[in-house]
Amino acid sequence: MLPGAGSLPSVEEVRVLVTGGAGFIGSHVADLIAADGGEPVLLDALLPAAHAAEPGYLGDHRLVRGEVGDPALLAELLRGVDAVCHQAAVVGHGLDPSDAPLYTWHNDHATAVLLAAMHAAGVGRLVLASSMVVYGEGRYACPEHGVVTPAPRRKEDIDAGHFDPRCTTCGSPLTPLLVPEDAQLNPRSTYAATKLAQEHLAGAWARQTGGTVWALRYHNVYGPRMPRDTPYAGVASLFRSALERGEAPTVLEDGRQRRDFVHVTDVARANLLALGTEPPEPITPVNVCSGTPHTVGELATELAAACGGPAPRTVGGARAADVRHVVADPARARRLLGFTAATGFTEGVAAFATAALRTPAGQPG
């Protein structure tokens, strides 16, 4: 077994390499590690799609600017490191298939380089930022056939305003259920495919080396330090950006699509818990979520009210490969990590209305 793959010392004694450490989630993880007495070492490429410059919120954290896919740099940074929190990724739904090389290079090739470097350095514990997108559509039940896998939604149905998936056997409307970690994995976008590939790569590394992995499947994360004014941002940031321009948030479909919105401070706390907890399997996936469904329309309405902006516009349609409902089951994270989301939806959205966002390069402000 690699050094570091067994029990860690207390979190306050840990040196952690945080990839993507200057970013939205990574910087919050670094803050908690430092507040708990640990030593975060931040690695970030500061890609222009996400950063106009080095962020001002990093404080005294040590930041190294560079690529996760640079083996020589990783060899240097991993000396004396106890664990890695791998947050670095190109995120978002993507715009079209021309994004595929960008996603696979930064998300999958770089992850493979990181895992190889961890093996060479004898670092055996990884906390991986995975995502709800590995599930594709959420879990559904048919009144006659029980839990079923819906077929992909058809463009002609979406164009006609029929957004909910139906049972492939009888055509009945389906009831969305909470999605557990053992649900079928069926990524629907390039980004989703790369996140599942990260899990597979990390699992192979763990089984080959004796290392351990927590695969934290983040749901819809929002909060301060999100990037704004970029098509790769999450829906909460897109709505905030529109409201700052004095525009109504644009809601696709009928606004009733269900999601699990979880505040970034809760996500950071889940990472800290994972750093201090031995996983039961070589790779253990857990949902990092609230477990409480809210619709995209609710988010837009609450945020518009909190910002004092115009009411949302619901325009129909859907992005290619978008899914209808994904709300997670939080039971495994509660049982294995002792994690329960603490920030409620109304409280979190109200705070997000005035939270500082991050400006990508090429954007004003």
For the CA atoms of 96, 264, 253, 178, what is the dihedral angle to 10 degrees?
A: 110
Q: Using CA atoms, how far apart are residues 52 and 64, in angstroms rounded to an integer?
A: 16
Q: How many domains does the chain have?
A: 1
With residue 113 as reference, give the H or E element that holds it.
helix 110-121
169: in domain:
no
At residue 142, what is the residue type?
C
Q: Containing H/E element for 100? A: helix 100-103
Q: Is 233:227 a contact under the CB 8 Å cutoff? A: yes
Q: What is the pLDDT of residue 234?
A: 84
Q: Mean of the per-residue pLDDT values for the chain?
A: 92
The pLDDT value given to residue 208 = 98
Contact indicator for 90, 111 with CB cutoff of 8 Å: no
Q: Is 349 inside any structural domain?
A: yes
Alpha-carbon separation of residue 32 from 18, 22, 37, 61, 273 (angstroms): 12, 14, 9, 11, 10
- Interval 48-68: pLDDT, tens: 878 888 999 999 999 999 999
Angle between helices 110-121 and 190-209 (to 10 degrees): 20
pLDDT at 10: 60
Could you list the residue range(s) of the whole structural domain that residue 218 is in?
15-138+179-353
Structure confidence by residue, pLDDT tens digits, 109-164: 999 999 999 999 999 999 999 999 999 999 999 999 999 988 778 889 999 999 99
Taking 3-state DSSP, the helix, strand and coil percentages for the chain, each rounded to the nearest 5, stand at: 35, 20, 45
Q: What is the pTM of this model?
A: 0.94
Residues 6+ apart with CB under 8 A from 154: none
Is the pLDDT at 307 greater than 70, yes or no?
yes
- CA-atom Rg of the chain in angstroms: 20
Neighbouring residues of 73: CB distance < 8 A, sequence distance ≥ 6: 43, 64, 66, 67
Among 197-201, 226-230, 253-257, the least confident range: 226-230
Residue 37 CB contacts under 8 Å (≥ 6 apart), including other chains = 11, 12, 13
Q: What is the mean pLDDT of residues 234-239?
A: 91
C-alpha closest to that of 189 among 232, 243, 247, 225: 232
Q: Is residue 1 part of a domain?
A: no
Query: Does residue 55 lie within any of the structural domains?
Result: yes
* Residue 3: predicted pLDDT: 36
- The CA angle 208-194-26, to the nearest 5 degrees, is 85
- Could you tell me if residue 294 is inside a domain? yes
Residue among 264, 256, 258 at smallest CA distance from 237: 264
DSSP SS3 for 184: coil
Q: What is the structure's pLDDT at 95?
A: 66
Tell me which residue of 263, 214, 172 sits closest to 84, measured CA to CA: 214
CATH code of 312's domain: 3.40.50.720
Residue 252, domain member (yes or no): yes
| Tens digits of residue pLDDT in 265-304 | 999 999 999 999 999 999 999 999 999 999 999 999 999 9
**Tokens coding 5:** 């793959």
In a domain, 106, yes or no: yes
Does some domain include residue 171? no
Which residue, among 234, 262, 7, 285, has the nearest Cα to 127 in the 3D structure?
285
Model confidence pLDDT, tens digit, residues 205-229? 999 999 999 999 999 999 999 988 7
| More confident of the two residues 362 and 17 | 17
Angstrom CA distances, 104 to 73, 85, 218, 282, 283, stand at 20, 19, 19, 24, 21
- Range in 95-99, 186-190, 224-228 with the lowest mean pLDDT: 95-99
pLDDT over 70 at 360, yes or no: no
pLDDT tops 90 at residue 4: no
